[in-house]
């Protein structure tokens, strides 16, 4: 599944957060047998919990930017200014810059809220690197 789960313990110590809470760590070592990161299992749930309160068609984030994070189509379409995701290239994807807080404070996402965990950000990063597929 997610690469970050292998480094979850180190990241948890560093970032003060724990990936996959409630899932026994021992099941995570069988990484080779697990599927790649998927949009539906690893990415969309993060958006649903942390973003769609503002980034669905009635939310303030959608009204300000045009970005709808409730569907794959919306995520790929991006904002009214253009795409936020460059498939295969997380470093060029503005979405990652916002989530990694490499932008001015008012553009950090989620807006005025706690930063996403290293685990969640790495899942999104891996999903983009693997082509940002509708999987
Ligand atoms: C509390 C409301 C809120 C939440 C939660 C929120 N956003 Fe936003 N988002 C906004 C607002 C408001 C803007 C417009 C910011 C601006 O243009 O100044 C915005 C803009 C954006 C943009 C476009 C920025 C640009 O350069 O135009 C992206 C991408 C984005 N949000 C992603 C996310 C993601 C991903 C999450 C969840 C991790 C998230 N947002 C959570 C309110 C929110």
pLDDT of 36 reads 84
Residues lining ligand 1, Cβ inside 6 A: 47, 50-51, 53-55, 60-61, 64-65, 67, 69, 79, 81, 84, 94-95, 98-99, 106-107, 109-113, 116
Q: How far is Cα 60 from Cα 62, in angstroms, rounded to an integer? A: 5
Q: 132: alpha, beta or left, given left = phi > 0 and alpha = psi -120 to 50?
A: left
Give the model confidence (pLDDT) of 9-61 as tens digits.
444 444 444 566 544 444 444 455 565 899 999 999 999 999 999 999 999 99
pLDDT > 90: what percent of the chain?
73
């Amino acid at each position: 599944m997610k690469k970050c789960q292998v480094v979850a313990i180190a990241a948890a110590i560093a970032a003060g957060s724990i990936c996959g809470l409630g899932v026994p760590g021992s099941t995570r070592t069988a990484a080779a047998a697990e599927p790649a990161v998927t949009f539906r299992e690893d990415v969309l749930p993060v958006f649903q919990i942390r973003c769609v309160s503002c980034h669905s068609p009635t939310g303030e984030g959608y009204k300000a930017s045009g970005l709808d994070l409730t569907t794959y189509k919306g995520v790929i379409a991006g904002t009214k200014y253009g795409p936020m995701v460059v498939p295969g290239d997380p470093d060029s994807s503005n979405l990652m810059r916002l989530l990694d807080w490499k932008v001015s404070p008012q553009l950090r996402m989620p807006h005025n809220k706690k930063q996403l965990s290293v685990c969640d950000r790495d899942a999104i990063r891996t999903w983009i690197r693997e082509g940002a597929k509708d999987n």
